[in-house]
């Protein structure tokens, strides 16, 4: 979890690649108490807001599918798995908020599990977005049919595709599961990933780059390709369907735009950190502090996508909208059946003699 400032901010092996510095020396070189103070206020506020909004939206998605018990399309299945991944990711936020304020008091095992869950579900969420765009491309683009990819994206293979996504995400979370531990710092305990000295720099940097490629670059390229093809196919529709055509294109543009706005800043900062770990580009304390704060802000922005997913990607699945309407109608009918019936019989008033 990189929004926790201790991942990089307090350790000389991440802040300065020279082996001549000890931890005590480093505190003299670049004291980052203001970074920690910023994190104590900013992170809990953003995490609590994301948790409340994200839990409500994603829990609604899971509840609707559980109630209706129907997954009619591949997109429906991907949206359900996306909601589960976002829920599991959001449930790690209270731990990181407490870590930012009070330090880590829950032990090494919980530290490892929470760190791994965060990475697994964050990566899984991004890859599922790519699968949703691919399914929409195959469904709405005539030229894409009858291909090997189309045969792979069939409902009978849906479970296999989702299993592949979760498996890849799990392997990306293994380093956090193995190397995360609780470290006693001068100001508090912290849950961080600690690598062996002989592999710390390149291992950490390589993992950062892999996460950027798999969790952002590949999904972005897939989304751009698929939605560009879908947009071209929609433009070829008859003029009589113009309103529906442009409405669909606007939705696709919003999806790509939100993905870029929320994920691009964080992944740019993440890539810069990876390069700094390997080549020590940042040598000024002030720049290092600003990079720390940029990591906190941009990763918090990236997390807002968990809150927006239920809104954005349910517009893609028409059957999901039907499920929502059906559940709302059933709930309303049930409420009317259980409400006490009003007595509509006319009553006669006796004349007052």
CB atoms within 10 A of CB 217: 15
Nearest-angstrom CA–CA distance, 233 and 230: 5
Q: How far apart are the first and last CA of the chain?
A: 85
Number of separate domains in the chain: 1
Q: Which among 2, 6, 12 is positioned nearest to 33, based on CA atoms?
A: 6
Is residue 123 within 8 Å of 172, Cβ to Cβ? Answer: yes
Assign residue 311 the CATH number of its domain. Answer: 1.20.1070.10
- Please tell me the predicted confidence (pLDDT) of residue 342: 43
Answer yes or no: is 35 within a domain: yes
- Please tell me the predicted confidence (pLDDT) of residue 76: 79
Answer yes or no: is 344 within a domain: no
Radius of gyration of the chain (CA): 25
- Please tell me the predicted confidence (pLDDT) of residue 113: 94
- Please tell me the predicted confidence (pLDDT) of residue 337: 65
Nearest-angstrom CA–CA distance, 287 and 212: 22
Length of the chain: 353
Is residue 33 within 8 Å of 10, Cβ to Cβ? Answer: no
- Please tell me the predicted confidence (pLDDT) of residue 135: 81
Answer yes or no: is 342 within a domain: no
Where in the sequence is the domain holding 306, given as residue range(s)?
A: 5-324
Q: Which among 159, 256, 184, 171 is positioned nearest to 216, based on CA atoms?
A: 256
Answer yes or no: is 349 within a domain: no
Distances (CA, A) of 27 to 138, 247, 260: 55, 56, 36
Answer yes or no: is 332 within a domain: no
Going by C-beta distance under 8 Å and a sequence separation of 6 or more, which residues neighbour residue 304? Answer: 50, 262
Answer yes or no: is 198 within a domain: yes
Answer yes or no: is 343 within a domain: no
**pLDDT under 50: residue ranges of the chain:** 3-28, 342-353
Answer yes or no: is 122 within a domain: yes
DSSP 71-138: --SHHHHHHHHHHHHHHHHHTTHHHHHHHHHH---SHHHHHHHHHHHHHHHHHHHHHHHHHHHHHHHH
Residues 50-79 pLDDT 10s:
999 999 889 888 888 777 666 667 777 888
- Please tell me the predicted confidence (pLDDT) of residue 159: 81
């Amino acid at each position: 979890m990189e929004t926790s400032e201790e991942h990089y901010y307090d350790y000389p092996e991440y802040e300065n690649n020279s082996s001549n510095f000890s931890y005590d020396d480093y505190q003299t070189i670049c004291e980052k108490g203001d970074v920690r103070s910023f994190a104590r206020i900013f992170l809990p506020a953003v995490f609590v807001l994301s948790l409340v909004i994200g839990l409500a939206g994603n829990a609604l998605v899971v509840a609707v599918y559980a109630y209706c018990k129907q997954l009619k399309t591949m997109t429906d299945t991907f949206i359900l798995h996306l909601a589960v991944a976002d829920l599991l990711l959001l449930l790690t936020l209270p731990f990181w908020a407490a870590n930012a304020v009070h330090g880590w008091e829950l032990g090494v095992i919980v530290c490892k599990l929470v760190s791994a869950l965060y990475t697994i579900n964050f990566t899984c969420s991004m890859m599922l977005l790519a699968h949703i765009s691919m399914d929409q491309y195959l469904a709405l683009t005539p030229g894409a049919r009858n291909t090997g990819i189309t045969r792979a994206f069939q409902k009978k293979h849906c479970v296999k595709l989702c299993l592949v996504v979760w498996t890849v995400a799990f392997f990306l979370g293994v380093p956090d599961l193995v190397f995360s531990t609780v470290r006693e710092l001068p100001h508090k305990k912290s849950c961080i990933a600690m690598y062996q000295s002989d592999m710390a720099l390149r291992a950490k940097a390589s993992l950062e780059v892999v996460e950027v490629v798999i969790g952002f670059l590949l999904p972005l390229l897939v989304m751009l390709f698929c939605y560009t093809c879908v947009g071209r196919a929609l433009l070829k529709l008859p003029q009589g369907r113009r309103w529906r055509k442009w409405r669909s294109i606007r939705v696709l543009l919003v999806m790509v735009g939100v993905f870029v706005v929320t994920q691009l800043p964080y992944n740019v900062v993440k890539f810069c950190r990876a390069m700094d770990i390997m080549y020590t580009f940042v040598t000024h304390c002030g720049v290092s502090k600003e990079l720390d704060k940029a990591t906190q802000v941009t990763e918090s922005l990236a997390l807002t996508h968990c809150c927006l997913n239920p809104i954005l990607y349910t517009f893609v699945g028409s059957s999901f909208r039907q499920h929502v309407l059906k559940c709302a109608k059933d709930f309303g009918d049930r409420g009317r059946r259980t409400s006490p019936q009003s007595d509509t019989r006319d009553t006669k008033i006796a004349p007052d003699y």
